[in-house]
Chain A
Amino acid sequence: MRKLKILLIGQPNVGKSSLLNALVGQRVVVSNYPGTTVEITQAEKVFNNTKIEFLDTPGIYSISDRSEEEKVTEKALFEKEIDGVVVVADETSLERSLYMLFQILEAQIPTIFALNFEKEAKKKGIKIDCKKLEKLLNIPVVLINPLTKKGIAELLAVTLKIKETAKRSFKIEYDDRIEKSIDKISLQIRTTFISKRFIALRILEEDKDFYKYLKDKRIIQEVKKSLKNHLKVAENISIDRYGTAAFIAEKVTQIIPLRGRKDLEEDVDNVLLHKIWGPFFTGLSFLAIFGALLYFGNLIQGVLMGLTESFLSSFGTTEHSVVSMVLVQGLTGLAAGISIALPYVFLFYLLLGLLEDVGLLSRFIVNTERFLKKLGLPGKSFIPLVLGLGCTAPAVRAARILSSKKEQFHTVSLFAFVPCSSRIAIIMGVVGFYGGLKLAFSVFATLLIAGLIWAFGIKKIIKIKSEPLLLELPPYRRPLIKNVLAKSWLRMKDFVYIVMPLLVIGGIAYGILDILGLTKSIVGPFLPITAWLRLPALTIIPLIFGFLQKDLTGAMLLSVLGNKISLVLTPLQIFTFGLASSIGIPCIIALGMLVREFGFKKAITLTITSIIYGFLFAGFLTRIISLF
């Protein structure tokens, strides 16, 4: 079977990931904000006896900048052996996409130009003549809509012939002196699969990463000397490219005047980006999300608890053998996990999906930027922090959108206080359900205070100069329920395939330990901790199991203490348990991700420090509260 490796490239938020999903089926999370994709995603499609491997890349504005995303995409472009590139472009701002397309064509990489957002362009009165554009660029231009799958079959068909586009594509002619310099440098470039013209241009644009392709670096000084009286060379190249892009865009764009159409987006932004109303609505939105989670989650939890209890009680009438007792413990773990965790995890992802797709997340970044800056965090850290409310592990990876490792580490250290959906489930499903809503909100408020103290402390230890904010605001879009449900499922998949079996295993493991009478030997060494927290000794078991998988915490608490928790624990103990299990790097999966991103030493130090901090904080608070 023939094989092809194709890279999907484009500016942030132009629909690359949507295109990947349309080409190969729902594989990646797609959202309406720039920076959703932070690493390469691979997926395959067999089409007409050809296995096409598509690589979805982080969005970039050009191949000249030096952000993390650009480095990842550049690496894929020039270090992986690819057969071609699909440049995904936004019809509403064609010249901006053309600029990057020209750079790729300069690299002589076989390219297809895929135009997305035809509907949005139409709304703005923009119409692109595809045939004319195809003729001017001399490469295939395909009109696509990944959501309706328009143009997908055509794109696949054209992809099969992608190699034919290599030699005949469009080329920008720069002024004579630059062209001569390109020729001079090209003679000194070692043989490589990257086009010599492209490398020469990158060198003229002073990209030091490309100096390694030179046989003799003295040519740089020689060329600089010959261009001494030339206007800034890099700027000149960029102006020429943009000028050509603007010229072509103008040739193929028809502007249809829209009469009497009010720009609703501007009006909404005037409120959401207002210096007072903006932060107010941001805060209100988060309160509404938590309110909805609490109300509907509680409602679903009540129903599920009733169902699982009646299911489990049916086992109570049968004769108890050791095996059946262990199995019942396994089922208890599963049932408790489903009824405590599932409603909150699912609801949170649904609400997050809606928030992302409408385009509100980026506006919230703007409104929280000032506050985050005071904590020493860049505005963009809002995205990983919000994603951390879902699951810490992917949020650690999402922190890659921040430019420096220091900023990334400071942000991920706050995941110790940003309750992931599993911790939200503990707070709402255990503290809220058994101790009342006020108690649940007290845990959230305490987490916030503990997190603020931590953040200020870290700011003092790690001196960070935050990068100034530079962010694209996506347009508002009507969320597609299909997409919201699909990505909620993608994010939930791990819960079903990994967490649910773990809940059974956790329950069974506890059952075996209980029957063998080994629980005391586990509990014993941790007595100082439970004594410090003023909790029953057995509560250490859910805390330990919880570090293996956070959803096990609530389930194991029910296994250990039974489902009448409010009779066994006082409200203060329920509060302390909720707090102690919520502060700290939550689980072994998050720890693994931290190791991958920051190395073992930093990851383990952060995890241990945050857990100790959590226990100390919860213990002190218990003592203070009990004084009143």
Chain B
Amino acid sequence: MGMVPGEKIRVTNEIPGSIVVKVKNKKFVLDKDIAKEIKVLKQ
């Protein structure tokens, strides 16, 4: 999905097994296993 370190992510929806995130103006659905791999640098 081409996400790069330092990008701002906003979680918009939570669905069983996945989350929906907004990166800039694009929305992505991520499996929770993938989402767990994202290191949050700043809340």
Contacts and interface: CB of A to CB of B under 8 A. Distances in A.
Interface of A is mostly: helix
A278 B15 contact: yes
B34 A238 contact: no
B12 A269 contact: yes
B30 A469 contact: yes
Contact of A93 (B5, B15, B17, B24): B24
Given A93-B26, A468-B34, A470-B30, A99 B2 contact: yes
A448 to B, nearest CB: 23
B29 A242 contact: no
Nearest to A121: B25
Contact of A100 (B2, B17, B28): B2
A204 to B, nearest CB: 16
Counting chain A CB atoms within 10 Å of each CB, the highest count among B4, B23, B24 belongs to B4
B40 interface: no
Nearest to B13: A273
A93 B5 CA distance: 16
B4 A470 contact: no
B24 A468 contact: no
B5 A242 contact: yes
B30 A269 contact: no
Interface in B4-41: 4-7, 12-13, 15-18, 20, 23-31, 33-34
Given A99-B2, A468-B31, A469-B18, A93 B12 contact: no
Contact of A62 (B2, B25, B31): B2
Contact of B5 (A99, A235, A373): A235
A473 interface: yes
Given A269-B12, A366-B29, A470 B2 contact: no
Interface in A354-396: 362, 365-366, 369-370, 373
A324 interface: no
Given A96-B26, A470-B34, A370 B16 contact: yes
A471 interface: yes
Contacts of B6: 239, 242-243
Nearest to A468: B31
Given A269-B12, A273-B15, A473 B29 contact: yes
A369 B18 contact: yes
Contact-size category for B: 20 to 34
Contact of A472 (B15, B16, B18, B27): B27
B4 A99 contact: yes
B7 A470 contact: no
Nearest to A124: B25
A149 B16 CA distance: 42
Given A93-B24, A238-B4, A239-B5, A470 B29 contact: yes
A50 to B, nearest CB: 33
Nearest to A466: B31
Nearest to B28: A472
A275 interface: yes
A71 to B, nearest CB: 16
B18 A96 contact: no
A266 interface: yes
A95 interface: yes
A299 B18 CA distance: 42
A470 B31 contact: yes
Contacts of A475: 27
A270 B5 CA distance: 28
A242 B31 contact: no
A559 interface: no
A173 interface: no
A62 B3 CA distance: 10
A11 interface: yes
A235 B25 CA distance: 23
A239 B7 CA distance: 10
Contact of B18 (A93, A126, A366): A366
A11 B26 CA distance: 11
Contacts of A96: 2, 23-24, 26
A65 interface: yes
Interface in A136-186: none
A270 B28 contact: no
Contacts of B7: 242
A92 interface: yes
A360 B30 CA distance: 17
Interface string A396-419: 000000000000000000000000
Given A92-B25, A366-B18, A469-B29, A61 B13 contact: no
B33 to A, nearest CB: 5
Contacts of A278: 15
B11 to A, nearest CB: 12
Contacts of A471: 28-29
A242 to B, nearest CB: 4
Contacts of A90: 25-26
Contacts of A365: 29
A493 B40 CA distance: 51
A274 B15 CA distance: 7
Contact of B15 (A238, A275, A468): A275
B13 A270 contact: yes
23 contacts: A93-B23, A93-B24, A95-B24, A96-B26, A238-B4, A242-B5, A242-B7, A243-B6, A274-B15, A366-B15, A366-B29, A369-B17, A373-B17, A469-B18, A469-B34, A470-B1, A470-B29, A470-B30, A470-B31, A471-B29, A473-B20, A473-B29, A475-B27
Interface of B: 1-2, 4-7, 12-13, 15-18, 20, 23-31, 33-34
Given A92-B24, A92-B25, 11 more contacts: A61-B2, A90-B26, A95-B24, A235-B5, A239-B4, A242-B5, A242-B7, A269-B27, A369-B17, A370-B17, A470-B1
In the complex, the 7 A-B pairs of residues with the closest C-beta atoms, listed nearest first: A61-B2, A468-B31, A473-B27, A242-B4, A92-B25, A93-B24, A469-B31
